[in-house]
Amino acid sequence: MRLFARIAIAIASITAVACSSDDLPSHIDSNNRNANTRGDKHSTRIEIPALSNEDLFITHSTTVNGKENITYSLAHAPERKHCRWTAFTFDASNRAINWKRDNWDNTEWRGDPFQPDPELPQNAVFTKEEINWNGYVRGHLVASYDRVYSKDANEQTFYYSNISPMISRFNTGLWSDLEGLVQGWGRNSGFCDTLYVVKGGTIREGEYTQDGTCITVPKHYFMAILCRYSNKYKAVGVMFEHKSYLPGTVSDYAMTIDELEEKTGIDFFCNLPDKLENAVEGLYEKSHWRGLN
């Protein structure tokens, strides 16, 4: 198909009626051949990628005004002792800043709030000692500052299931820069109604190493981001090699979601109707993303 025809179809498909974090309106074409069908609670939310039968699907949440508020979800690969991805949203219910990480000094954790995930056996993830022994830092996937709408939500980001062994300079380099951009987009109600975010490290065969005590260390880290604002959608993927120094800026590593899916083997945003999914995942415009210009 010619390029101008593809773009015209994409623009027509990307414009859609606004939807909640869980469901699309019934009058949007709901045809979807690759939606999650495992039946897990919350597995059909828009931010959730395609689930494999081998992975454990976990959702952490808090209660706000008597209603469940999703903190984040993850797909955990027991054989790797590492999650395959984490997924969450920024929206009106959770973009507020009501908690500061410095406050941990005044809690029972005394500045070190990392803890086992209560939904997993303790031997299903690596430990602080294993990470330190191999010279890595405890890198968040869902960042602490992504979830500061409450103490409870922030606490859940410190579960070891959400932690990955990262090179220190990688964690504080372009990965941190991208986290800042995503937080800025997600907390700007003039930029998005809902921002759907998937983060992870590559753990499929050949895409990780096992150092020392056999902890799984991803060779690359990625984010897939979908923005909904004023009845329109746009998406971008970013992937970094896991090393101490990366040249350039975040925009040098941006790509379409289709390209990111090819590199990671993960089917992102599979719960979108096919027509909308195909349109947004195949198109990336740098000028549409503040900070990537």
pTM strictly above 0.75: yes
Tens digit of pLDDT per residue, the chain (293 long)?
Answer: 344 334 444 444 455 433 333 444 433 456 888 999 988 999 999 999 999 988 999 999 999 888 999 999 999 999 899 999 999 999 999 999 998 866 655 565 566 788 999 999 888 888 888 888 788 999 999 999 999 999 999 999 999 999 999 999 999 999 999 999 999 999 999 999 999 999 999 999 999 998 666 789 999 999 999 999 998 999 999 999 999 999 999 999 999 999 999 999 999 999 999 999 999 999 999 999 999 86
Which token pair is 132? 């330190």
Predicted pLDDT of residue 83: 96
- The sign one gets for the Cα dihedral 134, 140, 144, 145 is positive
Pairing verdict, β 163-166 and 254-255: unpaired
Q: Which residues contact 205 (CB under 8 A, 6 or more apart)?
A: none
CA nearest to 268, candidates 223, 233, 228: 223
Predicted pLDDT of residue 4: 37
Predicted pLDDT of residue 197: 98
Q: Round to whole Å and give the CA distance between 255 and 239.
A: 8
- E strand or H helix at 58, and its extent? strand 56-64
Q: Are 197 and 224 in contact (CB under 8 A)?
A: yes
